[in-house]
Each structure stands twice: as C-alpha cells, then as structure tokens.
Amino acid sequence: MVKPVYDKAAAKREKLRLKSIKLFNRITHPLGYGIFYQRGEWRFDKISKPKIIFSTYDDAIRQWHLESEITTPLDDNTARRLLEGEFQLENKGVSAKNTKKRRYIPAELGVEGLFDKLNQKGVRYAVLRWFDTLPNVKPGEDIDILFSDEDMPFVDTLFLLHKRKGAIKCDLYSAGGLPGSSLDGIPYYEKRLAEEILDNTRLYANRYKVPDSWRHLLSLTYHVFYHKAQNSGLAPRKEIPPLRSEVDHDYAAILTGLAKENGKSLQPTLDGFFKFLKRNGWDASIDTARKLSVRRPGILDHYPKPRRAAGTDGELSIFVVRQWAYDRSLVPWVCQNLRNFGFDVKLVKELEKEEKQRAASRIRGGNWGAGPRPVSGGGPAALIVAYDYVPCPPTYLMQKEHPHVRNARVVRVKDIIRKDINKHVPKHLRTNPLHSSDDDIEAWDYLESVLPDYVDEVQRSVSQGFEGDPCTKLVLHRGRRAYSYVMFRDKKPCLLKIFSEGKEGRKSYSQEMYAMQTLGKEPWTPEWIDHGPNWMMMEYYHRKYRLDHVAEELGDEDRRKLAGKVLDLLFDIQSKGYAHRDAHAHNVFLYNGQLKIIDFETMSPQDPSIPFLKSYDVIGKGSKSPNATGRMCYTRNTAKKSFERVLGVNLTDAVQYMSRKF
C-alpha cells in the first residue's frame, strides 16, 4: 500500500471548481442545462425536467416521496414545546485561542511550574506518554496531555497559543473532544476510554499524573494503531512488510515490553494490536475509525465485515434522537416522517440509563457537543431503527461531503427534519436534534454496541420484508410517457409504471401490455404482478444488479462471458419474432444469475429469418428508430450505455462466447 499524499493546492482547486460549478448551474438550470459529474467525468449537458402526468394510480392516498422535501407539519402544541426547557449555549464565548490543540507552556512557568499548578488546583489530567524524561523534553518532541472537559476553562489560562522564546510545545486533548482539543474533529480517545485513563492515574516522580501501567499499555497501543497506523513502522500483518522503516520510536519493542510487564502477550503487527484492543474493549467504533481513516486508510482493513439481514438489498439506518428533541416529545413525529419518506421503522427504543451510557460512549466518538450550532442537542435519548428496502444512491457531490453514505435518503430526510425543527426556533437557540448512522455498516455496529439483545429481532424483522404502509410510493423516474415508482406488495418492493394519457403514453402502455401477455413467461422478463387501465406493476430489481454496475466488478474474461449472455438474450427475443429496439446496459439486470430485460415500450415485430448479426438489436438497422432512442443496439459504441461500451467487448469477441447457435 502506498502512503497517500495530500496535495493542498489540488484540494483548493477542487473546492474552487465545485463552487464555480454550483454558481454556473444556478444560472443555466432554468434553461435546462448544467454541468454534472457522471461515470468518472464532468459533462455539460441537458438536464431532464419533470413532466406533468395526466393520469395517476388512484388510491386516494397521498403520494409521499423524497422530492416533496416537506415534513408532516408540527402541531401548535409541539411547536410551542420547542421553546420550553433549558438551553445550554455551548459555543458562546469560545475564544480564538481555542481553535488548535497545539499550545505552549510559557518559559517563565516551565514544565514543573505547570504541573504544580495543575496539581494544586486538583485538575484531572494524564500525561499520555514519554513522561519518563520529564521535566526535560527531547528536541522535536512535545508533551501530550489529556484533560477532563470540566477543567479546560482553567487549563486554557495556563498556555500560550503562539510559540515564544523558551516556550515548550504541548498538545492538549479533552475527554469529550471540545473545540481546540480534539483530533480531526473527534475526541483523541473515545470519551469512555479517556475517562478510564483519567480515573486510573498514578503520580510519577511525585509530580506528574500518568496512566497506570495497564492503561498506559492500552492507550499507547490505541495511539499506535489509530493515530500512527501506517506511519508506525509496524507491518499490517505478519506476511506483509512494514510500509515505513524510519520512525520516531520502536513501537514494537516498547509495547511488547509493556505487555510483558502486565503479564500479557502482544503480536507486534497492526493486526495484532487491533485484536489486543478488541479483546480488552478498547477498539474504536466504526464511525470513529472511519473519521480517522481519512488520513490513515489502512485502519478499516482490520475491521470485520458487518452482519447483514439475509435476502435483502436495502440499508439499515439508525436515527439517534438526542435529549433535546426527546424532552420535547418529538420521537413520534420523527417516526412518522421517516415512514412518510419510505423507511420501514422496525424498532423504537427509549434508552435506559445503561443504554444511554453505551450509546453516548460508542457513537460519535463520545462527542455530543453543539458542533456548529449554538445549542447542544444533548446525548442520545432514543434510537429509531429503520430499514430502507430501496435505498437511493448518493450524488457525486453528496458522496464528496459524506464519503461513507450509501443511501441519499438518510442524508436528505435527516436534513429536512432538522431544518423543519429549527425553523420554529430563534437562530441563536438552534440545535442538532437528530443524528444518524452513515450506512448499513455503522447501523449494525450501533445496534450491536447499544442494544445487543435486539439484534436478532431486527434481523428477523428485516428478513420478513416491508411492514409499513403498503400504499407508500417512492419516485424512481419521471419521463414523458410514464412515471416509475416503487411500491410494496406482499412485503416486497415492486416497480409501478403509470402511463400518461397522451398518444405516446397510450402506445407505450399497449406495447408493455402486449409484451406481458406474449413474453411474460420467459425467464428473461420480469415477473408481472398486476395491471390496471393505465398502469402495471412488476418485479423490482435493485440498481446494483444493473449491467453497468455489475460490469464494474468484473475482470476481462468475465465481461466477455457476460457479453455472450447478452447476445444470447437478444437472440432469444429475435427468435420469438421481435426486436426490443432499446436494448442497453440500463435496461438489463443480472439477477440471481439470470439476465432480465425491462422496458418493452419500443418493442416491434421482426422477421426471425433476418440473420441475427444483422438484426436491429445488434446493429441498429432494418427498422425505424423509435422515440429518441437513437438506434440503440449492441454495437452503438458512441452511446455510453450501449453493451459494447459498458462491457468493453466488441461484437466479434462477444459472439465467441454465445451458447446459442445460429
């Protein structure tokens, strides 16, 4: 693994480019054009606009979908409660000097004078490491000190922000990761671990409070694995050589020696350190590890894969209702809005005392401060466990801001709920009332850490399928001829297509119905579930099964085999006497090992006697191009979604992998 190089100038250019694109798109969006990022490159192209649909699936139920971006209104009593209770203004009065962890001991105070003052005041602190040389500090070294949150106001008065002659540099960390005393915006140690260190100190050389021998071993191991990582000089595993040879300390020798003093054995590799921390309950939660992994990518390689519910393609999410919102009885309102936006709420748990403690220590790294808002939302008070059976992939810009998010609906719904609450609160009293897991991995980790007795129950519920409102509609696509939604039938997601009453809509509906009646029993067509005067419902396939997404994970040989299967599919359609006339990678899915093709709106008869390699679906000739498909076929390599372009396999090579003979 090559150590990543952070290019500050490139990062600034990227940030400036994104800002410029946003401003440009505001101007060009009304004209229907814009710049957007798609499949590895920036494009300036036409932006499709939502079309009016004249006929809808009439069930007298409001159509809830993400695009509405509105919540169920707060009733007057609930809105009034938002202004009740105590408000803790955490960000008020934060001084400029509290913006960095690096501080300096004034020369006139000195190291011994500093610690004498700390001891006289009864400050809870711990010098974390390399304390055996104090009061002397080696050139290039600093003093790393952990403090309790309560003592930070006094501690701030003892240090300088800028270096002066004779000043001694220190890095200050607070247990809760307060502003100016954190690492990468999170506590240096998860708060539960920081408190354990502070509660178990000993006096070294009759002056310096340091961790006892056991916590010294654990905290230094944590530091090497999570903070140093690939720069520690340790091999990731026995069979992998170290990524760096020149290091400031021989961590392998130091830590194996400390382990021996404590009657323990420690394998001197990063994987050995992680397993040691995990055995002793000192491993960081997955969301803490992810934040640290931005500059230390190897950390996540040692975390095991999370458990998942069997037979599902969705995403588990956990929404943490913080104490501020809980005290104002907002839990039912939050649950209602999650259901409105398509989430199947599986469990709502008001946390008991011990559960609150576990949640507060294992989620967000133990940091439940106000963040950028003036009022703290407080610690975790309730967990809402929800499942999205049809997660919505994040946009490129959302992925840049939230790199671990896999379901855009989580981010959007959380933001909508937060904004709707805060619009009822004066600007100087706004807060963050809701936290959520980023993805399925974090959600299961939250559940296992906070509510381990409920894990099996949630897994069973998820595996049983959707148990929410069966009339929920989630918008997938809005086209000129039809709208596509996801609905639920028999607890499973289904694709609902509603056709417009215009000429093109009626023709498309007729073609789809004809395909259902004539080809509905073929293994390569979706399961047709239901239909009405202007709508039809069929089996839904998650986008991860779509051919372009499947191809991204395949090697060259597997792509050629898949290309042969695609030609087999097109050959079968022709042998039935038809041409699909819009066959491309976005309309074909690989589901349970079987190719499935959808969207038969453009299907037309074709003479089976026409040589297959000269048929419309292969070369785009022999028939008029329908609608705006642009003669879509296998060989149209100028179209980004054509089979030849997506699979990277030309027709001659693909034919060699066909199983059909012609």
- Summarised one tens digit per residue, pLDDT across range 217-259 is 999 999 999 998 888 888 888 777 666 556 678 888 999 999 9
Q: Are 90 and 376 in contact (CB under 8 A)?
A: yes
Q: What is the CATH number of the domain that holds 376?
A: 3.30.70.141
Range of the domain at 560: 543-655
Same domain, 575 and 525: no
Between the alpha carbon of residue 485 and those of residues 64, 102, 536, the distances in Å are: 11, 54, 11
In-domain check, residue 140: yes
Are 147 and 291 found together in one domain? Answer: yes
User: Does residue 207 lie within any of the structural domains?
Assistant: yes
Q: Rounded to whole angstroms, how far apart are CA atoms 282 and 470?
A: 44
223 and 110 fall within a common domain: yes
Is 310 inside a domain boundary? no
Residue 460 in tokens: 């069973």
How far is residue 189's CA from residue 194's CA, in Å, rounded to a whole number? Answer: 5
349 and 423 share one domain: yes
Q: Looking at the structure, do residues 144 and 281 belong to the same domain, yes or no? A: yes
Total count of domains within the chain: 5
Domain boundary among 275, 302, 329: 302
Are both 458 and 370 inside the same structural domain?
yes
Contacts of 295 (CB under 8 A, 6+ apart): 4, 6, 184
pLDDT top residue among 648 and 44 = 648
pLDDT at 99 over 80: no
pLDDT score recorded for residue 94: 41
**Quick one: tokens of 66?**
């993400």
Are 481 and 549 contained in the same domain?
no
Residues 333 and 438 in one domain: yes
DSSP E strands, 280-411 = 315-322, 344-350, 380-388
Instruction: Supply the pTM of this predicted model.
Output: 0.78
Structure tokens at 384: 């809402």
**460 domain-assigned:** yes
18 and 117 inside one domain: no
By the 8 A CB rule, do 282 and 264 touch?
no
Element (H, E) at 587: none
When pLDDT is cut at 50, 70 and 90, the band that residue 40 belongs to is low
393 in a domain, yes or no?
A: yes
Classify residue 220: in a domain, yes or no: yes
CATH number for position 513: 3.30.200.20
More confident residue, 114 or 367: 114
> At which of 501, 522, 539 does a domain end?
539
Q: Examine the fold and report which residue of 34, 49, 64 is the final residue of a domain before the chain moves on.
A: 49
Residue 131 sits in the same domain as residue 270? yes
**Where residue 89 falls among pLDDT bands split at 50, 70, 90?**
low
pLDDT of residue 63: 37
Q: Decide if 75 is inside a domain.
A: no
> Is position 59 within any domain?
no
Based on the domain organization, do 589 and 643 belong to the same domain? yes
Residues with Cβ within 8 Å of 194's Cβ and at least 6 positions away in sequence, in order, are 146, 173, 175, 176, 187, 188, 366
Tell whether 564 and 501 lie within a shared domain: no
pLDDT in tens, 537-568: 999 999 889 999 999 999 999 999 999 999 99
